[in-house]
Structure 1
Amino acid sequence: MKTVSNLADLRASLDELRQGGRTVAFVPTMGNLHEGHMRLITEAHKNADIVVASIFVNPTQFGENEDLSGYPRTLEEDKKKLIAEGCQLLYTPNTADMYPEPDLTRVDVKHITTLHCGASRPGHFVGVATIVLKLFNQVRPDVAVFGLKDFQQFKVLELMVQNLFLPIRMIGVDTGRADDGLAHSSRNNYLTADERERAPALNRILRDTAAAIQSGEHSFAQLTRQAKERLTEAGFTPDYFNISRRLDLEPAGDDDRELVILAAAFLGRARLIDNIQVDR
């Protein structure tokens, strides 16, 4: 695997790799890679000839009092994992190159970014959309692969690609999980031993709520209230627990059939997110 850190070297490496019409799949990350990221690399291999990953801790998607300075940076370990999975090219740009002065441009996908995580983290998805568009323009992939643990992020980026006519096929990969159901996340590193034992309750509560809906329960408000109560009893501080339409992430109604339940909750230092899709 070759590692490059500036745009000129990235473009030169991509020109070489693309010879013969080979296609490129791109997996953008913030590093501190885990099994969930490796699932993305595996899926990327299935959908293109060349796999390119990036590692960049993006400052514009962190809000005030969030963990930018403390976000784990484990580049050497990340490289070993990517090499083991057969990634051909790693891009590790720096902040000054990604946000050159004057830094005046942002990408704002309206409305959907104000829901769920967007309501709790104002400006977060502007930062996400901005950096992903920059990376897309630099790498110019045929395919981009993202995890569905952050279902809202995937929907935001999918909408951005559609609205801006980007020639990129978006692929969402089901959430990778530990044996007890906890979604793989870099922020799991913040959990104490006791919190790690409690953490799978988030996924259990999501699954129980989905089962209730599939069994015919229509009172989404009651299900939401019960879920938040259970999260609190398990030691979480709920951020949100929302039963939504899968299409646009708006609140689900009685006539909606394709749903997603989105949840975020604090457990100690960690803010954990998860979701489950439900068909009625």
Structure 2
Amino acid sequence: MNAIFTDASFQNMLNVANKYGISSNAVTDLTHCLMNSNGTMAQFNIQELGGGGQWMLGGMTMVGDMFNNQLKYTVDGLCAELSNFIQQGAIQYKPLPRLENQQGGFSGNWWGDLGYPNSTGSQNGTSYAIFNNINRLAIQQNGKVTIFDTLNNNIGGVGQQQGGNYSVTFTSQFGTVDLSTLPIVSGVQETVKQSEPLPLLVEEDIVKPNNQQISNLEEDNSFFEEDIFGKIEKLASLKDKGILSEDEFTSKKNDLLSRL
């Protein structure tokens, strides 16, 4: 994937390159590596930076020439500044255009106008695209695309899931990501075509529910309400851990309560 940075992003990268006396090509390659983890780590093989190396935010810096402290200092400084730009949104990829195919659908980036993903994949009929730099996760299943707001989750792992709505599971720095707690930004809705007018109903045609059906309906509503309150409790836990702000928690809570 030939991802292209925005002009403003490239200027920020060029400023960092000039500061450390490194070529813009080397800094561009290093930034691509950092973008895969939303600026938290990078594994690279760049000749100008001593060949193979690894950097982790708040961790160790390793370079091919392990005794070259000056090179370690340079790599650490480069990665730290580029990481800061990425997490602030000052380094971003240009959005991909949506290419319409002959069938009238869209090919290539089925996730729409989110831009370049950090990673993509497909397992058991489910496709996914991860956008850590804009906190988005797109999942395509059975022809439908659902886009989640990943909040503060930095998704870095994907595995196979045995049950649930999707055949894949995602992990972040907080562990397994519970998709049911993530706000849905958008989704493809099915449209029902009505070919002819519906017949008018008279009172005799209306089937009134019996007492058992009413009881079952009330029980279903009770389960639905418990599910809503369970999600609110999970959101409250995220707020207590500092993952959600008070405003974000209130907004999501009100959205869930409005469904009751």
After TM superposition, is the score higher than 0.5?
Answer: no
Structure 1 length-normalised TM: 0.27
Rg (Cα) greater in structure? 2
Higher relative contact order structure (alpha carbons within 8 Å, sequence separation ≥ 6): 1
Structure 2 length-normalised TM: 0.29
More helix by share: 1
